Amino acid sequence: MTTKTHVKLDTSFKKEVYEGLTAFPKYLSSKYFYDKAGDKLFQDIMAMPEYYLTDCEYEILKTHTQPIAEYFRGNENGFDFIELGAGDGKKTKILLKYLSENKFNFIYKPIDISQNAIDSLYKKLKKELPNVEVDAEKGEYFEVLKRLKEYNSRKKVIMVLGSNIGNLLHPRAIDFLSKLKDTMQKGDMLFMGFDQKKDPQTILNAYNDNAGITAAFNKNILTRINRELDADFEVGKFKHWETYNPETGTAKSFLVATKKMEVTIKQFGLTIDFKPWETIHTEISQKYTDNVVNWLANEAGLKIETSFTDSKGYYKNYVFKR
């Protein structure tokens, strides 16, 4: 049973937390993983041996820099190189360095929801690649997408690395791709990373590492709710649980209550009951095949021009046009 009194849902965080924790089965959105502690844990995840995605994408950009850059090349007006979810820019620097050394005419516009990430990326690039013109912006993807429509004077290259699209269910991924398509003109391109299906054990290990970093990342959402909404989750009494369905290609993360619990969220005036072994679904990380990427692209009105993969074939970056 859940007890409610008066509730003030004046931010999307509050609204979504309230909806998810009063639903059955319970859920929370993985987009709320990324506070300061969450950003740091995600950096640690990207550096762990089990999380192959980052190394594979790094290898792709390193091995195929020149042909990728040729797809980017604009006309005599050059191009705007827009990156959504730029993060720390470690992988992007490979491309920026090549583009700059080979005198491509472009402006790099990194966009991230974390002001922190944007500020440190800007500083780092000014120091390490002073010849690259950088116009960084903080914002949510969908807000920024609306603004992207204004950049229509020259070719646009939109880049989304990290298989970020995998955190969206297929209908939302199609919606995301078609919103991107709507901001593109003929000749513009989208360059996007998609983690591929592979040995299910490799995938499970990537989301259930030995050091427990992914578990801490998953549980951080409860710590965040405790801090920001004045709640009393006993974080240590939840267990990180990962599943992977090799048929659908969907990896799912859960937090599982290891005992009966009553959690109070003071800002909501709400008490939530957990039965022993009750779940909160927190994240999906979709794995793809060419067929599925092709289907998503078609549904969104995009076409695959080509793709690049790593030596193990674990990961692919696709070039899309409208």
Name the nearest CA neighbour of 281 among 252, 307, 309.
252
Chain-centroid distance of CA 189 in Å reads 19
Q: Is 18 exposed, middle or buried, given 0-12, 13-18 or 19+ CB atoms closer than 10 A?
A: buried
Stretch that binds ligand AVI, among 122-130, 156-164, 225-233, 263-271 (CB under 6 A): 156-164
Assess whether the previous peptide bond of 110 is cis (omega < 30° from 0). no
Confirm or reject binding of residue 141 to ligand AVI (CB under 6 A): no
Name the residue nearer to ligand AVI (CB basis): 214 or 279: 214
Minimum distance from CB of 17 to ligand AVI (Å)?
Answer: 19
* Distance in Å, CB of 164 to ligand AVI, minimum: 5
Pairwise CA distance, residues 299 & 312, whole Å: 29
CB of 61 to ligand AVI, least distance (A): 16
Per rule CB under 6 A, is residue 285 in the interface with ligand AVI?
Answer: yes
> How buried is 139 (Cβ within 10 angstroms: 0-12 exposed, 13-18 middle, 19+ buried)?
middle
Q: For residues 163 and 213, what is the distance between their CA atoms, to the nearest angstrom? A: 19
Binding mask 177-216 for ligand AVI (x = CB under 6 A): ------------------------------x------x--
Whether residue 158 contacts residue 85, with contact meaning beta carbons closer than 8 Å, is answered with: no
String marking each residue 50-89 x if it binds ligand AVI according to CB under 6 A? ---x------------------------------------
In the bound complex, what is the minimum distance in angstroms from residue 244's beta carbon to ligand AVI? 12
Taking CA atoms, 96 is separated from 63, 123, 135, in Å, by: 14, 15, 13
Q: Determine, following the binding rule CB under 6 A, whether residue 242 of this chain makes contact with ligand AVI.
A: no
- Closer residue to ligand AVI in complex, CB, 167/248: 167
Residues 28 to 47 in contact with ligand AVI, rule: CB under 6 A = 45
- Residue closer to ligand AVI (CB basis): 18 or 191: 191
237-268 burial: b if 16+ Cβ within 10 Å, else e: ebebbbebeeeebbbbbbbebeeebebebebb
Q: Which among 165, 189, 186, 185 is positioned nearest to 175, based on CA atoms?
A: 165
First to last CA, the chain: 50
Q: Which of 57, 59, 278, 283 is close enough to bind ligand AVI by CB under 6 A?
A: 283
* Minimum gap (Å) between residue 197 Cβ and ligand AVI: 14
State how far the Cα of 23 lies from the Cα of 20, in Å rounded to an integer.
5
User: How far is it, in rounded angstroms, from Cα 106 to Cα 290?
Assistant: 30
Please identify, using beta-carbon distances, which residue of 21 and 45 lies nearer to ligand AVI: 45
Kindly state the smallest distance separating residue 38's Cβ from ligand AVI, in Å: 10
Which lies closer to ligand AVI via its Cβ, residue 183 or residue 220? 220
Please tell me whether residue 164 binds ligand AVI under the rule CB under 6 A: yes
Task: Name beta bridge partners: 257.
Answer: 238
Q: Which is nearer to ligand AVI, 74 or 162 (CB)?
A: 162
Tell me how many residues contact ligand AVI (CB under 6 A): 12
- Within 13 Å, how many C-alpha atoms sit on residue 71's CB side? 24
Sole binder of ligand AVI in the list 21, 166, 176, 308 (CB under 6 A) = 166
Q: Where along the sequence are the contacts to ligand AVI (CB under 6 A)? A: 45, 53, 162-164, 166-167, 207, 214, 217, 283, 285
